[in-house]
Amino acid sequence: MLKLDRVYAGYGAIEVLKDLTLEVKAGEIVALLGANGAGKSTTLLTIAGVVPVRGGAITWREAPLPEGRPDAVLRAGLCLCPEGRHIFPRLTVLENLLSGSLRLPAGRNGPKLEEVFAYFPLLAERRAQLGGTLSGGEQQMLAIGRALMGEPQLLMLDEPSLGLAPQIVAKIFEIIRAINAKGVPILLVEQNAQQALRIAHRGYVIVTGQNSLTGTGAELLASDEVRQAYLGE
């Protein structure tokens, strides 16, 4: 569905992605692993049209993805839940969620909200609370919920488990799996390599913006390179 073919991207004089190739097929969870600064967030931001493509091509359903146009990428159904959550602190939970559904006709908001509240019942209880007063775990649920409000055809999650207690992490991974089970392909950036590879169909390891390793979740979990570099073994 989504293909990055030999993509280059960066910031000013800094070249971050260098010849990066990856693919997300229908129905897959694909994990993107790499050290701090490897270019994982840059990969998602480039797909999302926030960081311009300098070389290579990104295609979505066999057609070129609009480049450098975040609004057009969102309208195509590629929704990013960014690193650090970036919810709106002074808007309520409900307003934050509705901000994610701007690409949909207004009539679809109700059913989408019900779907998000089914994943995260707590957000229904807290719908009138200001986003900035939620706990870290609750804010992460809100950020994922907001991305789901856009009815993603592809969901990109950047470090959804960062800074959360183990119980909440387990819940977030369970929900990622449930979202995928409903047919939404997911591109998942994670520091938590072990848990990410357990739920991923396939994964890619990138080193300084370049492809290093790829394989099924199980293959990568078993690989020496991944075990040493990302699982601390």
Ligand X SMILES: Nc1ncnc2c1ncn2[C@@H]1O[C@H](COP(=O)(O)OP(=O)(O)OP(=O)(O)O)[C@@H](O)[C@H]1O
Residue ranges binding ligand X (CB under 6 A): 11, 14, 16, 34, 36-42, 83
Encode 92-112: b = buried (16+ Cβ within 10 Å), e = exposed.
Answer: bbbebbbebbebeeeeebeeb
User: Which listed option, Mg ion, ligand X, none, makes contact with residue 202 (CB within 5 to 8 Å by class)?
Assistant: none
Q: Scanning the structure block, which residue is given the tokens 């950020």?
A: 143
The residue among 11 and 135 lying less far from ligand X, judged by its C-beta, is 11
User: Which listed option, Mg ion, ligand X, none, makes contact with residue 16 (CB within 5 to 8 Å by class)?
Assistant: ligand X
Is 83 a binding residue for Mg ion by CB under 5 A? The answer is yes
Is 223 a binding residue for Mg ion by CB under 5 A? The answer is no
Q: Do 213 and 223 meet the contact criterion of CB atoms below 8 Å apart?
A: yes
Sheet with 63-64, edge to edge strand ranges: 14-24, 2-11, 53-60, 63-64
For the bound state, the minimum distance from the C-beta of residue 178 to Mg ion, rounded and expressed in Å, comes to 24
Q: Which of 24, 41, 51, 149 binds Mg ion (CB under 5 A)?
A: 41
* 8-state DSSP, 201: S
* 8-state DSSP, 107: G
For the bound state, the minimum distance from the C-beta of residue 36 to Mg ion, rounded and expressed in Å, comes to 7
Q: Which residues would be at the binding site for Mg ion (CB under 5 A)?
A: 40-41, 83
